[in-house]
A = this chain, B = another copy of it.
Amino acid sequence: MTLPIALDAMGGDFAPGEIVAGARRAVDELGLNVILVGVPELLGDPRGLEVVACSEVIAMDDDPGVSVRKKKDSSLVRAAELVRDNKASAMVSAGNTGATMASALLRMGRLPGVIRPCIATPIPRPNATPMLLVDAGANAECKPEMLVQFAQMASTYVRAHYGVDSPKVGLLSIGEESSKGTPLVKETNQLLAAMSSLNFVGNVEGRDLPAGGTDQGALDVVVCDGFVGNVVLKFYEAVTPMIVGLIQKSCGIEPATLARSLGQLDYSEHGGAPLLGVRGVSIISHGKSSPRAIMNAIKVGVRAVDSGMNNLMTERLAASEQKHQTAEAS
C-alpha cells in the first residue's frame, strides 16, 4: 500500500482551516492518501480524515533552530518524524520555512554526499513548465561546491518531475560573460562548465528570469545563493500585485478578468517547493496557501515520491563524485 502524505495542519497564515480544506480536496478530488498532523482541539471537525495528534505549534515567526529543538511535539517535527519512521512518504507544510527545513534536516538527515539541502522554487511562466530557482532561501551563504550540487539536484528534479529531457541550467550573475560576478559566481561558472552531465548554458541575468529564458531559449533551472534567491522571489511576489493594482485602478478592469489573464503565473498551480537533498520528501508551500495550493502541494509530494527523485539524485551525485576522484587520481 502506498504511504500517505503527512500534512502539517497547523502551518500557514490560514491554518488550520484552509489547510484542512486542501487535504479534503486532495482526498476527494485526487484520491490521494493524506494524514493531518495537528492539535485536535484546533482542527475543527476533520470528518473522516486521518489525524496524528500533537500538542504544539511552531509559529510563523518562531526562531527555526530553537523552535524545532524545543517544540518536540509540534506538528512540523511530528510530520518530519512520520517520514523518517516510514509512516508517511512525504511531508507538506505551509508554515515557518526555516523550521520546516530544520525539522526535515534534523529528523530525516541529508542524502549521501549532499553538503547542504536547498529550496527549489518553481517560477511559473506562460505556456511552459516552470523554471526552478535554486536556492530560493535555505542558505544565505554558499560555496561553489554547494551551488554545483544545487544545479545537479534541480536538474535531476526537473527531469524526473516535469519530464524535461535535458534541463537547461543557468547561473545567475550580473553579465553573461563568465568573467562577470562575484568570486563565488566565477568559480561556480568554471565548475559547471566542466560538467559534461549538465546542460549548462552559462551565466544569466536578472532580466532572463521573468521571461524564463535567454536568447538561447528557455531556462529550466536558475542557480544562485539563497540570499539572492530569496530577495528575487519576494520581490517577484510583491511586484506583480503592485503592477496589477495600478492597471486595475486606471483601466477599470475587473479583478477577476485580470486574475484570469495572469492565471499562468499563479504559484498555487504548482503548490510547493521541494527541499532538495534531504533523506525524504519535504514540500514547502507558500504561507498564504489556499486549499487549492495545498491540494497541489500534496500532489507534488506524491509525484516526488513516485518519480524516485531522491534515488536519482543520490546516483547522480555519487557518479560525479567518483568521476572527480578518478580525475584526481589519474
Residues of A within 8 A of B (CB): 126, 137, 140-141, 172-174, 180-183, 185, 205-211, 224, 226-228, 230-240, 242-244, 246-247, 249-251, 253, 257-258, 260-262, 264-265
Residues of B within 8 A of A181 (CB): 140, 227
User: Are the C-beta atoms of A209 and B232 separated by less than 8 Å?
Assistant: no
With known contacts A238-B208, A244-B243, A261–B251 Cβ distance under 8 A: yes
Using CB atoms, name the residue of chain B closest to A126.
B246
A103 to chain B, nearest CB (A): 18
Q: How far is the CA of A264 from the CA of B249 in the complex (A)?
A: 13
User: Are the C-beta atoms of B232 and A247 separated by less than 8 Å?
Assistant: no
Using CB atoms, name the residue of chain B closest to A181.
B140
Using CB atoms, name the residue of chain B closest to A250.
B261
Residues of B within 8 A of A182 (CB): 140-141, 227
User: Are the C-beta atoms of B261 and A246 separated by less than 8 Å?
Assistant: yes
User: Are the C-beta atoms of A233 and B246 separated by less than 8 Å?
Assistant: no
Q: How far is the CA of A249 from the CA of B253 in the complex (A)?
A: 14
User: Are the C-beta atoms of A174 and B137 separated by less than 8 Å?
Assistant: yes
User: Are the C-beta atoms of B247 and A174 separated by less than 8 Å?
Assistant: no
| Other-chain residue from B224, B237, B238, B264 in contact with A246 (beta carbon distance below 8 A) | B264
Residues of B within 8 A of A173 (CB): 227
A276 to chain B, nearest CB (A): 19
With known contacts A206-B232, A227-B181, A240–B238 Cβ distance under 8 A: no
Residues of B within 8 A of A205 (CB): 230-231, 234
| Other-chain residue from B206, B234, B261, B265 in contact with A234 (beta carbon distance below 8 A) | B206
Using CB atoms, name the residue of chain B closest to A239.
B210
| Other-chain residue from B206, B210, B238, B258 in contact with A233 (beta carbon distance below 8 A) | B206
With known contacts A141-B183, A235-B209, A238-B211, A174–B230 Cβ distance under 8 A: yes
Q: How far is the CA of A235 from the CA of B250 in the complex (A)?
A: 24
User: Are the C-beta atoms of A231 and B232 separated by less than 8 Å?
Assistant: yes
Using CB atoms, name the residue of chain B closest to A236.
B239
A174 to chain B, nearest CB (A): 4
A294 to chain B, nearest CB (A): 22
Q: How far is the CA of A126 from the CA of B243 in the complex (A)?
A: 10
Residues of B within 8 A of A183 (CB): 141
User: Are the C-beta atoms of A174 and B207 separated by less than 8 Å?
Assistant: no
Q: How far is the CA of A192 from the CA of B181 in the complex (A)?
A: 26
Q: How far is the CA of A210 from the CA of B228 in the complex (A)?
A: 16
User: Are the C-beta atoms of A209 and B228 separated by less than 8 Å?
Assistant: no
With known contacts A174-B137, A207-B238, A262-B243, A253–B250 Cβ distance under 8 A: no
